[in-house]
Amino acid sequence: MDASAPGRRFLELVNRAETLRAVGAFDGLSAKLVEEAGGEVVYVSGSAVSTSVHGKPDVGLTTMTEMVDRARNVVEAVDVPVFCDADTGYGNALNVRRTVERFERAGVAAIHLEDQRFPKRCGHFEGKRVVPREEMVRKLRAAVDARDDLAIVARTDAAAVTGLDDAIDRARAYADAGADVLFVEAPESRADLERVGDELGDVPLLANMVEGGRTPLVHADELSSMGFDVALYPTTGQKAAAKALREVYGEIFERGTQVGVLDRLVTWEERNEITGLASIRELEARYAGDDA
């Protein structure tokens, strides 16, 4: 495939018969591990970046430049397309244009834009508010006009605010505005997921599988049968990493040594393999000479 067209590569994966599993990463290392596990795309969640950069919840504190910087790091770490959370676009339609341009220059394949009011918050938190449908349509048109290759995923948070009927109507309007993929956030039951699939299944659809969130966790194959083309797992890996860090750090402070948790760590050799030390050594031998 043409590596210079990551958006096209992303949409080719979305449009296959098999549901694409988009697993979330939050830095270069976690992105490499997603790819190593078989990930055909890496997702960068705004919630995960807020957690890893600030140690804060997903309540609109992360800026566009912080997200783009983290996305660029992930793009440079992997060979697969990178799909990124772009929140509300960080302002009005003009801000959305700049957001699209910045993510595209960073090499990102796709972003999703949502119709929340600022300050936005995690799609499974209480207290969300949404902008008028027409405002979001204008922002999506600005995004489509500004892009070269970038795929645009339109997310609506209306289901938890104004109801599923409005969310489906909004999603249809967002498809008409040029969105490539639709993302109805926080359906609360299998029946809700099935309805989204039935009413919007002529357009590529994404389902967000968040542990502890409003939406039931459904197997990717079942999501496919419901009409969903992408299954998103935004923060599963980060939650696993946080639990492991808590346990390992606790062991060191309680026991005074890490010996009791060595079986929970990658080895020295495994870490070097993940980070590509051998290829760096080859480059050193080629270019550095006696300075290596």
Catalytic residues: 43, 58, 85, 87, 112, 114, 122, 155, 185, 208
Considering only CA atoms, which of 94, 92, 64, 78 is closest in space to residue 24?
78
For the beta carbon of residue 147, count every other beta carbon within 10 angstroms.
Answer: 20
Distance CA 223, CA 207 (A): 8
Query: What is the token pair recorded at 169?
Result: 């109507």
**Helix, strand, coil shares, percent, the chain, to 5:** 50, 15, 35
C-alpha dist (Å) from residue 206 to 82, 88, 135, 265, 288: 15, 17, 22, 34, 47
Residue at token pair 């990658």: 266
* Per-residue DSSP letter, 82: E
